[in-house]
Structure 1
Protein backbone atom coordinates (compact mmCIF):
# COMPACT_ATOMS: atom_id res chain seq x y z
CA UNK A 1 0.00 0.00 0.00
CA UNK A 2 1.02 3.63 -0.46
CA UNK A 3 0.62 6.16 2.35
CA UNK A 4 1.08 9.94 2.31
CA UNK A 5 1.89 10.93 5.88
CA UNK A 6 1.44 14.63 6.69
CA UNK A 7 1.73 16.30 10.06
CA UNK A 8 1.68 19.64 11.87
CA UNK A 9 -0.10 21.66 9.19
CA UNK A 10 -0.69 24.52 11.66
CA UNK A 11 -3.26 26.35 9.57
CA UNK A 12 -3.06 29.91 10.78
CA UNK A 13 0.71 29.76 10.35
CA UNK A 14 0.71 28.09 6.91
CA UNK A 15 2.99 29.27 4.10
CA UNK A 16 0.89 30.92 1.36
CA UNK A 17 0.48 28.59 -1.60
CA UNK A 18 2.20 25.63 0.08
CA UNK A 19 -1.04 23.74 0.75
CA UNK A 20 -2.04 23.95 -2.92
CA UNK A 21 1.41 22.73 -4.02
CA UNK A 22 1.13 19.80 -1.64
CA UNK A 23 -2.32 18.89 -2.94
CA UNK A 24 -0.97 18.78 -6.51
CA UNK A 25 1.88 16.55 -5.36
CA UNK A 26 -0.43 14.13 -3.58
CA UNK A 27 -2.81 13.79 -6.49
CA UNK A 28 0.16 12.92 -8.71
CA UNK A 29 1.33 10.26 -6.24
CA UNK A 30 -2.18 8.78 -5.84
CA UNK A 31 -1.84 7.28 -2.34
CA UNK A 32 -4.10 4.56 -0.99
CA UNK A 33 -4.33 6.47 2.30
CA UNK A 34 -3.57 10.01 3.45
CA UNK A 35 -2.71 10.36 7.14
CA UNK A 36 -2.74 13.66 9.09
CA UNK A 37 -1.00 13.13 12.44
CA UNK A 38 -2.18 16.14 14.42
CA UNK A 39 -1.69 19.86 14.99
CA UNK A 40 -3.86 20.71 12.02
CA UNK A 41 -4.42 24.22 13.41
CA UNK A 42 -2.27 26.77 15.22
CA UNK A 43 -4.73 28.00 17.85
CA UNK A 44 -7.87 25.90 17.34
CA UNK A 45 -9.75 28.88 15.92
CA UNK A 46 -12.93 28.38 13.92
CA UNK A 47 -11.40 29.94 10.79
CA UNK A 48 -8.41 27.62 11.06
CA UNK A 49 -10.64 24.55 11.24
CA UNK A 50 -12.54 25.85 8.22
CA UNK A 51 -9.23 26.05 6.32
CA UNK A 52 -8.37 22.50 7.40
CA UNK A 53 -11.73 21.19 6.22
CA UNK A 54 -11.27 22.84 2.82
CA UNK A 55 -7.75 21.40 2.57
CA UNK A 56 -8.93 17.87 3.39
CA UNK A 57 -11.77 18.12 0.86
CA UNK A 58 -9.17 18.63 -1.89
CA UNK A 59 -6.99 15.66 -0.89
CA UNK A 60 -7.12 12.19 -2.44
CA UNK A 61 -9.44 10.01 -0.37
CA UNK A 62 -9.46 8.30 2.05
CA UNK A 63 -8.05 10.59 4.76
CA UNK A 64 -7.47 9.61 8.39
CA UNK A 65 -6.79 12.52 10.78
CA UNK A 66 -6.07 12.70 14.50
CA UNK A 67 -5.75 15.83 16.65
CA UNK A 68 -2.69 17.31 18.31
CA UNK A 69 -2.16 19.59 21.27
CA UNK A 70 -2.56 22.73 19.10
CA UNK A 71 -6.05 21.57 18.15
CA UNK A 72 -7.15 22.23 21.73
CA UNK A 73 -8.17 25.76 22.76
CA UNK A 74 -5.00 27.26 24.24
CA UNK A 75 -5.29 29.85 26.99
CA UNK A 76 -9.07 29.80 27.13
CA UNK A 77 -9.54 27.74 30.30
CA UNK A 78 -13.35 27.56 30.25
CA UNK A 79 -13.48 26.27 26.68
CA UNK A 80 -10.45 24.02 27.15
CA UNK A 81 -11.90 22.23 30.17
CA UNK A 82 -15.64 22.22 29.43
CA UNK A 83 -15.67 21.57 25.67
CA UNK A 84 -12.08 20.88 24.56
CA UNK A 85 -12.98 19.25 21.24
CA UNK A 86 -16.11 21.17 20.31
CA UNK A 87 -14.39 23.18 17.58
CA UNK A 88 -12.75 20.05 16.13
CA UNK A 89 -16.12 18.34 15.84
CA UNK A 90 -17.95 21.42 14.54
CA UNK A 91 -15.25 22.37 12.05
CA UNK A 92 -14.21 18.97 10.74
CA UNK A 93 -17.08 16.61 11.65
CA UNK A 94 -14.47 13.90 12.22
CA UNK A 95 -13.94 11.40 15.00
CA UNK A 96 -11.12 12.07 17.43
CA UNK A 97 -10.08 8.42 17.24
CA UNK A 98 -10.89 7.12 13.77
CA UNK A 99 -10.19 3.75 12.24
CA UNK A 100 -10.06 2.77 8.60
CA UNK A 101 -9.66 -0.66 7.02
CA UNK A 102 -8.87 -1.28 3.37
CA UNK A 103 -7.43 -3.93 1.09
CA UNK A 104 -4.52 -5.37 3.06
CA UNK A 105 -4.35 -2.78 5.85
CA UNK A 106 -5.94 -1.32 8.94
CA UNK A 107 -5.16 2.15 10.30
CA UNK A 108 -6.17 3.11 13.84
CA UNK A 109 -5.96 6.67 15.17
CA UNK A 110 -5.68 7.66 18.82
CA UNK A 111 -5.93 11.05 20.47
CA UNK A 112 -2.82 11.57 22.60
CA UNK A 113 -3.46 15.29 23.30
CA UNK A 114 -4.68 16.13 26.80
CA UNK A 115 -6.48 19.21 28.12
CA UNK A 116 -4.14 19.25 31.15
CA UNK A 117 -1.25 17.27 32.61
CA UNK A 118 0.61 16.76 35.89
CA UNK A 119 3.55 18.81 34.61
CA UNK A 120 4.07 22.43 33.50
CA UNK A 121 4.17 21.58 29.80
CA UNK A 122 0.63 20.68 28.82
CA UNK A 123 1.67 20.11 25.21
CA UNK A 124 2.94 16.66 26.20
CA UNK A 125 0.65 13.78 25.33
CA UNK A 126 -0.29 10.44 26.82
CA UNK A 127 -1.73 7.04 25.97
CA UNK A 128 -4.08 5.35 28.44
CA UNK A 129 -5.01 1.71 28.99
CA UNK A 130 -8.40 2.04 27.33
CA UNK A 131 -6.78 3.33 24.14
CA UNK A 132 -4.35 0.41 24.04
CA UNK A 133 -7.20 -2.05 24.62
CA UNK A 134 -9.12 -0.53 21.70
CA UNK A 135 -6.09 -0.83 19.39
CA UNK A 136 -5.60 -4.47 20.33
CA UNK A 137 -9.29 -5.25 19.79
CA UNK A 138 -9.47 -3.59 16.37
CA UNK A 139 -6.33 -5.11 14.89
CA UNK A 140 -7.26 -8.58 16.16
CA UNK A 141 -10.10 -8.61 13.63
CA UNK A 142 -7.96 -8.17 10.48
CA UNK A 143 -6.38 -10.79 8.24
CA UNK A 144 -2.92 -12.00 9.36
CA UNK A 145 -1.01 -10.44 6.44
CA UNK A 146 -2.57 -6.98 6.73
CA UNK A 147 -0.34 -3.97 7.42
CA UNK A 148 -1.29 -2.66 10.87
CA UNK A 149 -0.87 1.09 11.33
CA UNK A 150 -1.22 3.30 14.38
CA UNK A 151 -1.54 7.08 14.02
CA UNK A 152 -0.82 9.37 17.00
CA UNK A 153 0.41 12.93 17.30
CA UNK A 154 3.06 12.51 20.00
CA UNK A 155 6.26 10.52 19.41
CA UNK A 156 7.06 6.93 20.36
CA UNK A 157 10.67 7.32 19.18
CA UNK A 158 13.21 10.13 19.43
CA UNK A 159 16.11 10.73 17.05
CA UNK A 160 19.59 11.27 18.46
CA UNK A 161 19.22 15.03 17.99
CA UNK A 162 15.92 15.06 19.87
CA UNK A 163 16.81 12.65 22.68
CA UNK A 164 16.14 15.35 25.30
CA UNK A 165 12.54 15.75 24.18
CA UNK A 166 9.86 13.65 25.85
CA UNK A 167 8.17 10.60 24.44
CA UNK A 168 4.41 10.29 24.64
CA UNK A 169 3.37 9.37 28.17
CA UNK A 170 3.33 5.60 28.83
CA UNK A 171 5.30 5.04 25.60
CA UNK A 172 7.32 2.09 26.85
CA UNK A 173 4.35 0.22 28.30
CA UNK A 174 2.26 0.98 25.23
CA UNK A 175 4.95 -0.29 22.86
CA UNK A 176 4.89 -3.65 24.62
CA UNK A 177 1.15 -3.86 23.93
CA UNK A 178 1.57 -2.66 20.34
CA UNK A 179 4.17 -5.34 19.74
CA UNK A 180 1.77 -7.91 21.20
CA UNK A 181 -0.92 -6.64 18.81
CA UNK A 182 1.59 -6.95 15.95
CA UNK A 183 1.39 -3.27 14.97
CA UNK A 184 3.78 -2.74 12.07
CA UNK A 185 3.96 1.03 11.71
CA UNK A 186 3.42 4.06 13.96
CA UNK A 187 2.99 7.48 12.30
CA UNK A 188 3.47 10.65 14.34
CA UNK A 189 4.53 14.29 14.45
CA UNK A 190 4.74 17.01 17.12
CA UNK A 191 8.51 17.61 16.87
CA UNK A 192 8.55 19.14 13.37
CA UNK A 193 11.41 16.85 12.34
CA UNK A 194 11.33 13.94 9.91
CA UNK A 195 13.00 10.64 10.74
CA UNK A 196 12.26 6.92 11.01
CA UNK A 197 13.50 4.00 13.07
CA UNK A 198 12.46 0.98 15.10
CA UNK A 199 11.12 0.97 18.67
CA UNK A 200 10.50 -2.41 20.34
CA UNK A 201 10.32 -4.07 16.95
CA UNK A 202 7.80 -1.58 15.52
CA UNK A 203 8.63 0.86 12.70
CA UNK A 204 8.11 4.50 13.73
CA UNK A 205 7.97 7.29 11.13
CA UNK A 206 7.92 10.92 12.27
CA UNK A 207 6.93 13.67 9.84
CA UNK A 208 8.02 17.30 9.88
CA UNK A 209 5.69 20.23 9.42
CA UNK A 210 4.10 19.89 5.99
CA UNK A 211 3.11 23.46 5.14
CA UNK A 212 3.69 25.79 8.11
CA UNK A 213 6.26 28.47 8.90
CA UNK A 214 7.10 26.67 12.15
CA UNK A 215 10.05 24.72 10.77
CA UNK A 216 12.62 23.41 13.27
CA UNK A 217 15.80 23.27 11.22
CA UNK A 218 14.21 21.43 8.28
CA UNK A 219 12.11 22.60 5.33
CA UNK A 220 8.47 21.66 4.95
CA UNK A 221 8.17 17.94 4.32
CA UNK A 222 5.95 14.88 4.35
CA UNK A 223 6.55 11.13 4.28
CA UNK A 224 5.81 8.92 1.31
CA UNK A 225 5.50 5.34 2.53
CA UNK A 226 5.16 2.04 0.72
CA UNK A 227 4.36 -0.98 2.86
CA UNK A 228 3.48 -4.64 2.68
CA UNK A 229 3.76 -7.53 5.10
CA UNK A 230 7.52 -7.92 4.52
CA UNK A 231 8.91 -4.46 3.73
CA UNK A 232 8.27 -0.85 4.74
CA UNK A 233 9.88 1.99 2.76
CA UNK A 234 9.77 5.51 4.21
CA UNK A 235 10.80 8.43 1.99
CA UNK A 236 10.92 11.97 3.34
CA UNK A 237 9.99 14.43 0.61
CA UNK A 238 11.07 18.01 1.40
CA UNK A 239 10.29 21.38 -0.15
CA UNK A 240 13.19 22.48 -2.39
CA UNK A 241 11.79 25.82 -3.53
CA UNK A 242 9.89 24.45 -6.50
CA UNK A 243 8.27 21.28 -5.19
CA UNK A 244 8.64 18.34 -2.86
CA UNK A 245 11.70 16.19 -3.61
CA UNK A 246 13.24 13.12 -2.03
CA UNK A 247 15.53 14.11 0.86
CA UNK A 248 15.96 10.96 2.98
CA UNK A 249 15.05 7.29 2.83
CA UNK A 250 14.68 4.32 5.19
CA UNK A 251 13.92 0.67 4.40
CA UNK A 252 12.75 -1.86 7.00
CA UNK A 253 12.30 -5.61 6.81
CA UNK A 254 10.30 -7.97 8.95
CA UNK A 255 12.28 -10.45 11.05
CA UNK A 256 11.32 -13.02 13.69
CA UNK A 257 12.08 -10.53 16.47
CA UNK A 258 10.17 -7.71 14.79
CA UNK A 259 11.04 -5.09 12.21
CA UNK A 260 14.65 -4.07 11.59
CA UNK A 261 16.47 -1.43 9.53
CA UNK A 262 17.75 -2.71 6.17
CA UNK A 263 18.97 0.56 4.64
CA UNK A 264 18.88 4.31 5.12
CA UNK A 265 20.20 7.40 3.40
CA UNK A 266 20.06 11.17 3.70
Structure 2
Protein backbone atom coordinates (compact mmCIF):
# COMPACT_ATOMS: atom_id res chain seq x y z
CA UNK A 1 0.00 0.00 0.00
CA UNK A 2 1.23 3.49 -0.89
CA UNK A 3 0.30 6.38 1.41
CA UNK A 4 0.16 9.74 -0.35
CA UNK A 5 -0.56 13.21 1.01
CA UNK A 6 -2.00 15.48 -1.69
CA UNK A 7 -1.80 19.20 -0.89
CA UNK A 8 -2.61 22.05 -3.24
CA UNK A 9 -2.97 25.83 -3.46
CA UNK A 10 -0.80 26.75 -0.49
CA UNK A 11 -0.64 30.38 -1.72
CA UNK A 12 2.28 31.83 0.23
CA UNK A 13 1.56 35.53 0.44
CA UNK A 14 -2.09 34.84 1.30
CA UNK A 15 -1.64 32.03 3.79
CA UNK A 16 -1.95 31.43 7.52
CA UNK A 17 1.42 30.52 9.13
CA UNK A 18 -0.39 28.61 11.87
CA UNK A 19 -2.03 26.37 9.28
CA UNK A 20 1.27 25.94 7.43
CA UNK A 21 2.88 24.68 10.64
CA UNK A 22 -0.08 22.36 11.19
CA UNK A 23 0.41 20.71 7.79
CA UNK A 24 4.02 20.00 8.72
CA UNK A 25 3.01 18.55 12.08
CA UNK A 26 0.39 16.33 10.43
CA UNK A 27 2.86 15.04 7.83
CA UNK A 28 5.46 14.36 10.50
CA UNK A 29 2.94 12.29 12.41
CA UNK A 30 1.60 10.33 9.41
CA UNK A 31 4.87 9.86 7.46
CA UNK A 32 3.48 9.51 3.91
CA UNK A 33 5.44 7.68 1.22
CA UNK A 34 5.01 10.69 -1.07
CA UNK A 35 3.89 14.31 -0.64
CA UNK A 36 2.27 15.85 -3.73
CA UNK A 37 1.76 19.61 -4.00
CA UNK A 38 -0.30 20.43 -7.07
CA UNK A 39 0.49 24.07 -7.70
CA UNK A 40 -0.15 27.65 -6.63
CA UNK A 41 2.76 27.87 -4.24
CA UNK A 42 2.46 31.67 -4.21
CA UNK A 43 -0.24 34.31 -4.38
CA UNK A 44 1.40 36.60 -6.95
CA UNK A 45 4.70 34.91 -7.91
CA UNK A 46 6.74 37.54 -6.04
CA UNK A 47 10.26 36.80 -4.83
CA UNK A 48 9.44 37.07 -1.12
CA UNK A 49 6.48 34.71 -1.60
CA UNK A 50 8.62 32.18 -3.43
CA UNK A 51 11.23 32.42 -0.66
CA UNK A 52 8.58 31.53 1.92
CA UNK A 53 7.34 28.67 -0.25
CA UNK A 54 10.91 27.49 -0.80
CA UNK A 55 11.57 27.45 2.95
CA UNK A 56 8.44 25.31 3.41
CA UNK A 57 9.50 22.88 0.67
CA UNK A 58 13.02 22.69 2.08
CA UNK A 59 11.70 21.88 5.55
CA UNK A 60 9.68 19.02 4.08
CA UNK A 61 12.74 17.76 2.20
CA UNK A 62 14.89 18.04 5.32
CA UNK A 63 12.32 15.90 7.14
CA UNK A 64 12.97 13.15 4.62
CA UNK A 65 9.76 13.39 2.60
CA UNK A 66 9.75 12.52 -1.08
CA UNK A 67 8.07 15.36 -2.96
CA UNK A 68 6.38 15.68 -6.35
CA UNK A 69 5.36 19.22 -7.28
CA UNK A 70 3.90 21.11 -10.22
CA UNK A 71 3.34 24.87 -10.63
CA UNK A 72 -0.02 26.61 -10.79
CA UNK A 73 -1.28 29.70 -12.57
CA UNK A 74 -0.54 31.86 -9.50
CA UNK A 75 3.13 30.90 -9.85
CA UNK A 76 3.23 32.85 -13.14
CA UNK A 77 3.60 36.64 -12.61
CA UNK A 78 0.35 38.46 -13.32
CA UNK A 79 1.35 42.14 -13.25
CA UNK A 80 5.00 41.82 -14.34
CA UNK A 81 4.14 41.56 -18.03
CA UNK A 82 7.72 41.26 -19.29
CA UNK A 83 8.55 38.41 -16.93
CA UNK A 84 5.14 36.85 -17.51
CA UNK A 85 5.84 36.28 -21.20
CA UNK A 86 9.66 36.13 -21.27
CA UNK A 87 10.27 33.85 -18.28
CA UNK A 88 6.90 32.88 -16.74
CA UNK A 89 8.18 30.07 -14.51
CA UNK A 90 11.74 31.29 -13.92
CA UNK A 91 11.12 31.99 -10.22
CA UNK A 92 9.29 28.69 -9.74
CA UNK A 93 12.26 26.83 -11.23
CA UNK A 94 14.72 28.82 -9.13
CA UNK A 95 12.96 28.48 -5.76
CA UNK A 96 10.82 25.34 -5.99
CA UNK A 97 11.94 22.94 -8.72
CA UNK A 98 13.39 23.15 -12.21
CA UNK A 99 11.57 19.96 -13.16
CA UNK A 100 8.23 20.76 -14.79
CA UNK A 101 7.42 17.12 -15.53
CA UNK A 102 8.41 15.36 -12.27
CA UNK A 103 8.27 11.59 -11.96
CA UNK A 104 8.04 9.28 -8.95
CA UNK A 105 7.97 5.51 -9.01
CA UNK A 106 8.23 2.79 -6.41
CA UNK A 107 6.99 -0.80 -6.20
CA UNK A 108 3.35 0.26 -5.96
CA UNK A 109 2.74 3.51 -7.83
CA UNK A 110 4.04 5.52 -10.78
CA UNK A 111 3.30 9.26 -10.61
CA UNK A 112 3.77 11.86 -13.37
CA UNK A 113 3.34 15.60 -12.89
CA UNK A 114 2.61 17.90 -15.83
CA UNK A 115 2.67 21.70 -15.84
CA UNK A 116 -0.63 23.26 -16.98
CA UNK A 117 0.23 26.90 -16.11
CA UNK A 118 0.53 29.19 -19.12
CA UNK A 119 1.32 32.87 -19.73
CA UNK A 120 -1.56 33.54 -22.10
CA UNK A 121 -4.43 31.83 -20.34
CA UNK A 122 -4.07 33.74 -17.03
CA UNK A 123 -6.10 31.47 -14.73
CA UNK A 124 -7.00 28.61 -17.09
CA UNK A 125 -4.70 25.69 -17.82
CA UNK A 126 -3.47 23.91 -20.92
CA UNK A 127 -1.50 20.86 -22.01
CA UNK A 128 0.55 20.76 -25.20
CA UNK A 129 1.14 17.89 -27.63
CA UNK A 130 4.66 17.25 -26.31
CA UNK A 131 3.28 16.77 -22.80
CA UNK A 132 0.64 14.35 -24.08
CA UNK A 133 3.33 12.35 -25.86
CA UNK A 134 5.32 12.30 -22.62
CA UNK A 135 2.28 11.00 -20.77
CA UNK A 136 2.14 8.05 -23.17
CA UNK A 137 5.86 7.40 -23.02
CA UNK A 138 6.35 7.56 -19.27
CA UNK A 139 3.49 5.21 -18.44
CA UNK A 140 4.18 2.83 -21.35
CA UNK A 141 6.90 0.96 -19.46
CA UNK A 142 5.14 0.87 -16.08
CA UNK A 143 4.29 -2.60 -14.81
CA UNK A 144 0.59 -3.47 -14.95
CA UNK A 145 0.43 -4.07 -11.19
CA UNK A 146 1.32 -0.46 -10.38
CA UNK A 147 -1.19 2.35 -9.91
CA UNK A 148 -0.68 5.12 -12.47
CA UNK A 149 -1.27 8.62 -11.13
CA UNK A 150 -1.28 11.90 -13.07
CA UNK A 151 -0.85 15.24 -11.27
CA UNK A 152 -1.77 18.63 -12.74
CA UNK A 153 -2.74 21.95 -11.19
CA UNK A 154 -5.78 22.48 -13.41
CA UNK A 155 -8.30 19.64 -13.60
CA UNK A 156 -8.59 17.93 -16.97
CA UNK A 157 -12.38 17.96 -16.74
CA UNK A 158 -15.04 20.61 -16.32
CA UNK A 159 -15.64 20.53 -12.58
CA UNK A 160 -18.73 21.45 -10.54
CA UNK A 161 -18.07 24.69 -8.68
CA UNK A 162 -20.25 26.29 -6.06
CA UNK A 163 -23.63 24.96 -5.02
CA UNK A 164 -25.60 25.94 -8.13
CA UNK A 165 -24.40 23.11 -10.35
CA UNK A 166 -22.38 25.35 -12.66
CA UNK A 167 -19.29 23.83 -14.31
CA UNK A 168 -15.80 25.24 -14.68
CA UNK A 169 -13.84 25.44 -17.90
CA UNK A 170 -11.94 22.25 -18.73
CA UNK A 171 -8.20 22.35 -19.35
CA UNK A 172 -7.13 23.41 -22.84
CA UNK A 173 -6.95 20.52 -25.36
CA UNK A 174 -9.45 18.77 -23.13
CA UNK A 175 -10.44 16.10 -25.63
CA UNK A 176 -6.84 15.26 -26.51
CA UNK A 177 -5.92 15.15 -22.83
CA UNK A 178 -8.78 12.79 -21.95
CA UNK A 179 -7.86 10.53 -24.85
CA UNK A 180 -4.21 10.45 -23.75
CA UNK A 181 -5.14 9.70 -20.13
CA UNK A 182 -7.41 6.90 -21.29
CA UNK A 183 -4.82 5.36 -23.60
CA UNK A 184 -2.08 5.62 -20.97
CA UNK A 185 -4.24 3.74 -18.46
CA UNK A 186 -4.15 6.45 -15.78
CA UNK A 187 -5.96 5.24 -12.67
CA UNK A 188 -6.00 8.45 -10.62
CA UNK A 189 -5.91 12.08 -11.80
CA UNK A 190 -5.06 14.58 -9.04
CA UNK A 191 -5.47 18.35 -9.32
CA UNK A 192 -6.32 21.51 -7.38
CA UNK A 193 -7.05 25.08 -8.51
CA UNK A 194 -10.67 25.44 -7.34
CA UNK A 195 -10.08 25.17 -3.56
CA UNK A 196 -12.71 22.45 -3.37
CA UNK A 197 -12.43 18.80 -2.43
CA UNK A 198 -14.14 16.57 -4.95
CA UNK A 199 -13.91 13.01 -6.22
CA UNK A 200 -15.72 11.27 -9.05
CA UNK A 201 -15.27 8.57 -11.68
CA UNK A 202 -14.21 10.05 -15.00
CA UNK A 203 -16.79 7.94 -16.79
CA UNK A 204 -19.54 9.75 -14.91
CA UNK A 205 -18.22 13.10 -16.12
CA UNK A 206 -17.59 12.56 -19.84
CA UNK A 207 -18.01 9.75 -22.32
CA UNK A 208 -15.06 7.55 -23.33
CA UNK A 209 -12.99 8.75 -20.40
CA UNK A 210 -11.39 5.47 -19.41
CA UNK A 211 -11.21 4.21 -15.88
CA UNK A 212 -9.67 7.17 -14.05
CA UNK A 213 -10.81 8.37 -10.65
CA UNK A 214 -10.72 12.17 -10.57
CA UNK A 215 -9.68 13.65 -7.21
CA UNK A 216 -9.52 17.37 -6.44
CA UNK A 217 -7.82 18.88 -3.38
CA UNK A 218 -8.97 21.94 -1.51
CA UNK A 219 -6.59 24.69 -0.46
CA UNK A 220 -4.20 23.47 2.22
CA UNK A 221 -3.16 26.79 3.77
CA UNK A 222 -4.62 29.76 1.87
CA UNK A 223 -6.86 32.31 3.56
CA UNK A 224 -8.68 32.73 0.22
CA UNK A 225 -11.53 30.30 0.84
CA UNK A 226 -14.29 29.55 -1.63
CA UNK A 227 -17.86 28.50 -0.88
CA UNK A 228 -16.97 28.75 2.83
CA UNK A 229 -14.96 25.54 2.73
CA UNK A 230 -12.18 25.31 5.34
CA UNK A 231 -8.57 24.54 4.52
CA UNK A 232 -8.01 20.88 3.75
CA UNK A 233 -5.88 18.37 1.91
CA UNK A 234 -6.23 14.76 0.81
CA UNK A 235 -4.82 11.61 2.37
CA UNK A 236 -4.72 8.63 0.00
CA UNK A 237 -4.18 4.97 0.74
CA UNK A 238 -3.54 3.27 -2.59
CA UNK A 239 -4.05 -0.43 -1.92
CA UNK A 240 -4.22 -1.35 -5.59
CA UNK A 241 -5.19 0.42 -8.78
CA UNK A 242 -8.70 -0.98 -8.28
CA UNK A 243 -8.93 -0.08 -4.59
CA UNK A 244 -8.23 3.35 -3.11
CA UNK A 245 -9.10 5.08 0.16
CA UNK A 246 -9.49 8.84 0.29
CA UNK A 247 -9.68 10.75 3.55
CA UNK A 248 -9.89 14.52 3.82
CA UNK A 249 -7.80 16.22 6.50
CA UNK A 250 -9.80 19.31 7.54
CA UNK A 251 -8.63 22.39 9.46
CA UNK A 252 -10.82 22.97 12.52
CA UNK A 253 -9.18 26.16 13.80
CA UNK A 254 -6.60 24.39 15.96
CA UNK A 255 -5.29 21.56 13.82
CA UNK A 256 -6.06 19.16 11.01
CA UNK A 257 -8.63 16.53 11.86
CA UNK A 258 -9.67 13.46 9.91
CA UNK A 259 -12.80 14.23 7.91
CA UNK A 260 -14.66 12.27 5.26
CA UNK A 261 -13.25 8.83 4.63
CA UNK A 262 -14.39 7.04 1.48
CA UNK A 263 -13.21 3.82 -0.14
CA UNK A 264 -13.37 3.58 -3.93
CA UNK A 265 -13.17 0.31 -5.81
CA UNK A 266 -13.27 -0.55 -9.51
CA UNK A 267 -14.42 -4.12 -9.95
CA UNK A 268 -16.86 -3.74 -12.80
CA UNK A 269 -17.62 -0.92 -15.19
CA UNK A 270 -17.08 2.01 -12.86
CA UNK A 271 -15.74 3.26 -9.56
CA UNK A 272 -18.00 2.63 -6.59
CA UNK A 273 -17.77 4.66 -3.39
CA UNK A 274 -18.17 3.22 0.10
CA UNK A 275 -18.30 5.77 2.96
CA UNK A 276 -16.08 4.70 5.85
CA UNK A 277 -16.25 7.76 8.12
CA UNK A 278 -16.78 6.93 11.76
CA UNK A 279 -15.84 10.26 13.29
CA UNK A 280 -16.06 13.12 10.82
CA UNK A 281 -14.39 16.39 11.58
CA UNK A 282 -16.76 19.19 12.43
CA UNK A 283 -18.41 20.55 9.31
CA UNK A 284 -17.35 17.73 6.99
CA UNK A 285 -20.12 16.79 4.59
CA UNK A 286 -20.47 13.95 2.12
CA UNK A 287 -22.22 14.21 -1.23
CA UNK A 288 -23.64 11.53 -3.45
CA UNK A 289 -20.97 12.17 -6.06
CA UNK A 290 -17.88 11.94 -3.94
CA UNK A 291 -16.17 13.80 -1.13
CA UNK A 292 -16.45 17.48 -0.36
CA UNK A 293 -15.58 19.58 2.65
CA UNK A 294 -18.01 22.14 3.96
CA UNK A 295 -17.56 24.96 6.42
CA UNK A 296 -17.03 24.09 10.05
- TM-score, scaled relative to structure 1: 0.93
- Equivalent residues in 2 for 1:16-95, closer than 5 Å: 16-59=17-60, 60-95=64-99
Q: For the residues of structure 1 that align with 2:147 and 2:20, how far apart are their CA atoms?
A: 29
Verify the 8 A CA contact 1:220 1:238 in the aligned structure 2.
yes
Is residue 271 of structure 2 the alignment partner of residue 260 of structure 1? yes
Structure 2 unpaired stretches of 5+: 203-208, 278-285, 287-296
C-alpha offsets along residues 70-94 of structure 1, whole Å, 9 cap, x if unaligned? Answer: 0001111111111111111121243
Q: For the residues of structure 2 that align with 1:30 and 1:151, how far apart are their CA atoms?
A: 20
Compared with structure 1, are the counterparts of its residues 65 and 164 closer, same or farther at alpha carbon in structure 2 (3 Å cutoff)?
same
Verify the 8 A CA contact 1:196 1:250 in the aligned structure 2.
no
Q: For the residues of structure 2 that align with 1:65 and 1:36, how far apart are their CA atoms?
A: 5
Which residue pairs with 1:214 in the alignment? 224
Is residue 169 of structure 2 the alignment partner of residue 153 of structure 1? no
Q: For the residues of structure 2 that align with 1:58 and 1:31, how far apart are their CA atoms?
A: 15
C-alpha offsets along residues 211-236 of structure 1, whole Å, 9 cap, x if unaligned? Answer: 11011120000000011232011111
1:24 alignment partner, SS class: helix
Match of 1:194 among 185, 193, 197: 197
Q: For the residues of structure 2 that align with 1:180 and 1:163, how far apart are their CA atoms?
A: 29
Offset at residue 107 of structure 1 (A): 0.7
C-alpha offsets along residues 38-67 of structure 1, whole Å, 9 cap, x if unaligned? Answer: 101001111111111111122251000000
Which residue pairs with 1:231 in the alignment? 243
| Stretch moving more, 52-61 or 181-190 | 52-61
Which residue pairs with 1:181 in the alignment? 184
Verify the 8 A CA contact 2:148 2:241 in the aligned structure 1.
no
Q: For the residues of structure 2 that align with 1:132 and 1:100, how far apart are their CA atoms?
A: 18
Which residue pairs with 2:292 in the alignment? none
Q: For the residues of structure 2 that align with 1:245 and 1:176, how far apart are their CA atoms?
A: 37
Is residue 130 of structure 2 the alignment partner of residue 141 of structure 1? no
Offset at residue 254 of structure 1 (A): 2.2
CA RMSD of aligned residues (A): 1.6
Offset at residue 22 of structure 1 (A): 0.7
- TM-score, scaled relative to structure 2: 0.84
Verify the 8 A CA contact 2:222 2:231 in the aligned structure 1.
yes
